[in-house]
């Protein structure tokens, strides 16, 4: 059998301990599949004497992840500490400079520094693999860079933050308010240390920016992702959307348009009979559309010890087998600078507002929409509360700019009793 592949793991939290368990428990299977032993030689974390539920006694310990990354007995540096900068980035750069391949689950680091790190890796003749960084256990990076590489990718979309999907699903199924569902997710330990990363759409936006780069051959451009979180989604909108046959999802969409690269992460309505609409709880889904394959739907666990460690090990096994793919599917210098599209392609929108229940109120709203060039597809007044009239409008396809113009004009009317809610209805 060939020389062992020697791993150095920095970060022994949820994902890191999961990787240690797989390497220890499946040593024979990994060696049989890759043709060489896969072994851990050294590990690092902040606190040495913490009980992590795994035996680390066989491995060298480094307090400093940079030292671990450059050890002579490490072939692959596995970065599982997290954070876009700091020790994760320093150790990754050190590993590449020292001639090590890198495997990471760190979407924040790659969303911010992916291009520079990919260039550094390729200059050093090394690879960076990051399957675990996007949609946890779903092998979506491999699907895009390898299995679908004969396609022109036309669109990538998906639900890529399990915490948000859990919150939205619990609001829908258990009739919880956003605050109640958020508290439940918090109690279950689902939220990131900074919850805004989840509910603000930032974590999912990081993931979308990585998929965009591979799909469209562009440099990672997280700043070009239009971000809107789920904090303003109400139980009222979830119920009204359901009544019309839709579910509300934090949906990421990336597509190359004539006006540039469109990348959006925002709450959208999707049909409830589409797999995206049926996605429950913390599960993730990525939908890839290509000119040859048409549509591929990948569904699976987006987080957690086993699923995320599974993805890390998939990358390790590729390296053990000698499979080497450019970080974002094409050599880093060939990735084009992303030209962000200004505004999304037109779509129908769901509008909900409360009007003063008086003659001409609805007519004024309809006039404002008409003046902005927006045609109404469906409209209904669905109940009365004293002198107020809740109204739902579904528009025909319109640009967000026209809609914003109409919403601005509506705000000037004397008939609105609440700020209108506007949600895009995505074609899926
Ligand atoms: P955890 O917080 O559970 O673990 C982080 C680990 O990194 C800890 O062991 C910690 O040490 C160690 N660490 C932090 N800072 C340092 C440092 N300066 N030097 C050495 N070690 C350090 O994180 P996760 O395992 O959840 O996440 C790891 C990565 O995987 C992140 O990038 C995350 O975004 C990504 N990811 C996580 C998923 C999940 O389900 N958890 C899913 C997909 C991706 P100590 O234990 O001593 O404090
Ligand atoms: N906070 C992330 C989620 C973890 O909820 O999906 C996995 O990246």
Query: Which ligand approaches the C-alpha of residue 305 most closely?
Result: 1
Using a 6 Å CB cutoff, which residues line ligand 2? 136, 161-163, 192, 198, 203, 302-303
Q: Where are the alpha helices (DSSP H) in 124-176?
A: 140-142, 162-174
Q: Which residues pair with 356 in a beta bridge?
A: 388
Q: Which two tokens stand for residue 175?
A: 């009739």
On whether the pTM is more than 0.95, the answer is yes
If you measure from the C-alpha of residue 80 to the centroid of ligand 1, how many angstroms do you get, rounded to a whole number?
A: 5
pLDDT of residue 86: 97
Q: Which two tokens stand for residue 333?
A: 């210098």
Nearest alpha-carbon partner for 28 in 20, 37, 19: 37
- Cβ atoms of residues 255 and 225 within 8 Å: no
pLDDT of residue 56: 97
If you measure from the C-alpha of residue 42 to the centroid of ligand 2, how many angstroms do you get, rounded to a whole number?
A: 27
Spell out the residues 6+ positions from residue 179 whose beta carbon is closer than 8 angstroms to its own. Answer: none
Compute the distance between CA of residue 7 and CA of residue 71 in angstroms, rounded to an integer: 10
- Cβ atoms of residues 52 and 80 within 8 Å: no
Match 């890839």 to its residue by tokens: 288
If you measure from the C-alpha of residue 81 to the centroid of ligand 1, how many angstroms do you get, rounded to a whole number?
A: 4
Ligand 1 within 6 A of 10 CB?
A: yes
Match 């999707």 to its residue by tokens: 270
Query: By alpha-carbon position, which residue is closest to atom 7 of ligand 2?
Result: 303
Query: Which ligand approaches the C-alpha of residue 103 most closely?
Result: 1
Q: Which of 207, 249, 358, 364 is catalytic?
A: 207
Ligand 1 within 6 A of 307 CB?
A: no
If you measure from the C-alpha of residue 427 to the centroid of ligand 2, how many angstroms do you get, rounded to a whole number?
A: 25
SS3 assignment, position 372:
coil
> 275 vs 144, 264, 425, CA distance in Å?
20, 20, 15
Query: By alpha-carbon position, which residue is closest to atom 2 of ligand 2?
Result: 161
pLDDT of residue 244: 93
Atom of ligand 2 nearest to the CA of 107: 8
- Cβ atoms of residues 394 and 378 within 8 Å: yes
Q: Which two tokens stand for residue 209?
A: 């920016």
Spell out the residues 6+ positions from residue 378 whose beta carbon is closer than 8 angstroms to its own. Answer: 244, 392, 393, 394
Nearest alpha-carbon partner for 300 in 287, 288, 284: 284
DSSP string, 308-355: HHHHHHHHHHHHHHT----TTSS-GGGPBPP-B-SSPPPB-EEEEEEE
Neighbours of 343 (CB within 10 A): 17
Query: Which ligand approaches the C-alpha of residue 47 most closely?
Result: 1
Compute the distance between CA of residue 376 and CA of residue 394 in angstroms, rounded to an integer: 6
358 is catalytic: no
For each of the chain's 428 residues, which pLDDT tens digit applies?
A: 689 999 999 999 999 999 999 999 999 999 999 999 999 999 999 999 999 999 999 999 999 999 999 999 999 999 999 999 999 999 999 999 999 999 999 999 999 999 999 999 999 999 999 999 999 999 999 999 999 999 999 999 999 999 999 999 999 999 999 999 999 999 998 999 899 999 999 999 999 999 999 999 999 999 999 999 999 999 999 999 999 999 999 999 999 999 999 999 999 999 999 999 999 999 999 999 999 999 999 999 999 999 999 999 999 999 999 999 999 999 999 999 999 998 899 999 999 999 998 999 999 999 999 999 999 999 998 877 778 999 999 999 999 999 999 999 999 999 999 889 999 999 99
pLDDT of residue 382: 85
383 Rama class: left (phi>0) / alpha (psi -120 to 50) / beta:
left
Nearest alpha-carbon partner for 238 in 202, 268, 266, 196: 268
Query: By alpha-carbon position, which residue is closest to atom 45 of ligand 1?
Result: 46
> 411 vs 136, 162, 377, 404, CA distance in Å?
42, 35, 22, 11
Spell out the residues 6+ positions from residue 81 whose beta carbon is closer than 8 angstroms to its own. Answer: 10, 11, 45, 65, 87, 88, 91, 106
Domains with residue ranges and CATH for the chain: 5-104 (3.40.50.720), 141-300 (3.30.360.10), 349-425 (3.30.70.260)
98: phi then psi, degrees, rounded to nearest 5: -90, 5
Q: Are strands 76-79 and 101-104 parallel, antiparallel or unpaired?
A: parallel
166: phi then psi, degrees, rounded to nearest 5: -65, -45
Ligand 1 within 6 A of 137 CB?
A: no
In 58-139, DSSP assigns E strands to: 60-61, 76-79, 101-104, 128-129
Query: Which ligand approaches the C-alpha of residue 68 most closely?
Result: 1
Ligand 1 within 6 A of 47 CB?
A: yes
Query: By alpha-carbon position, which residue is closest to atom 28 of ligand 1?
Result: 80
- Cβ atoms of residues 267 and 423 within 8 Å: yes
Atom of ligand 1 nearest to the CA of 203: 34
Burial tier of 57 (Cβ tally within 10 Å: 0-12, 13-18, 19+): exposed
- Cβ atoms of residues 285 and 279 within 8 Å: yes
Atom of ligand 1 nearest to the CA of 16: 25
> 41 vs 4, 147, 424, CA distance in Å?
10, 32, 50
Atom of ligand 2 nearest to the CA of 197: 1
Atom of ligand 1 nearest to the CA of 83: 32
């Amino acid at each position: 059998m060939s020389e062992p592949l020697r791993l150095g793991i920095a970060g022994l939290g949820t994902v890191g301990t999961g990787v240690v368990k797989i390497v220890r428990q499946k040593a024979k299977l990994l060696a049989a599949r890759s043709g060489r032993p896969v072994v851990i030689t050294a590990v690092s974390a902040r606190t040495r004497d913490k009980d992590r539920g795994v035996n680390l006694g066989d491995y060298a310990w480094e307090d400093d992840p940079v030292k671990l990354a450059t050890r002579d007995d490490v072939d692959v540096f596995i970065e599982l500490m997290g954070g876009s900068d700091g020790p994760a980035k320093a150790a990754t750069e050190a590993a590449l400079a020292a001639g090590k391949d890198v495997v990471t689950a760190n979407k924040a680091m790659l969303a911010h520094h992916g291009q520079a790190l990919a260039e550094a890796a390729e200059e050093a003749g090394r690879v960076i693999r990051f399957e675990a960084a996007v949609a946890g256990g779903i092998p979506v990076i491999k699907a895009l860079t390898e299995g679908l590489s004969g396609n022109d990718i036309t669109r990538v979309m998906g639900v890529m933050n399990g915490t948000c999907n859990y919150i939205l699903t619990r609001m829908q199924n258990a009739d919880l308010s956003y605050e109640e569902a958020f508290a439940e997710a918090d109690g279950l330990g689902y939220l990131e240390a900074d919850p805004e990363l989840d509910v603000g759409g930032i974590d999912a936006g990081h993931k979308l920016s990585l998929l965009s780069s591979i799909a469209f051959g562009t440099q990672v451009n997280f700043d070009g992702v239009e971000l809107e979180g789920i904090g303003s989604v109400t139980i009222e909108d979830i119920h009204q959307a359901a009544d019309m046959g839709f579910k509300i999802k934090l949906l990421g969409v990336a597509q190359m348009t004539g006006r540039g690269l469109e990348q959006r992460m925002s709450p959208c309505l999707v049909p409830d009979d589409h797999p995206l609409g049926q996605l429950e709880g913390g599960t993730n889904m990525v939908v890839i559309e290509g000119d040859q394959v048409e549509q591929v739907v990948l569904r699976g666990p987006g987080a957690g010890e086993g699923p995320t460690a599974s993805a890390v090990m998939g990358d390790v096994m590729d390296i053990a087998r000698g499979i080497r793919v450019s970080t974002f599917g094409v050599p880093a210098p060939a990735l084009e600078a992303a030209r962000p599209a200004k505004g999304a392609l037109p779509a129908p929108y769901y509008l909900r507002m409360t009007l003063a229940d008086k003659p001409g109120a609805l007519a004024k709203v309809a006039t404002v929409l008409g003046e902005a060039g927006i045609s109404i597809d469906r409209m209904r007044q669905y109940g009365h509360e004293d002198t107020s009239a809740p109204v739902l409008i579904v528009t025909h396809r319109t640009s967000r700019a026209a809609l914003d113009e109409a919403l601005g004009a509506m705000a000037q009317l004397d008939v609105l009793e609440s700020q209108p809610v506007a949600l895009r209805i995505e074609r899926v």
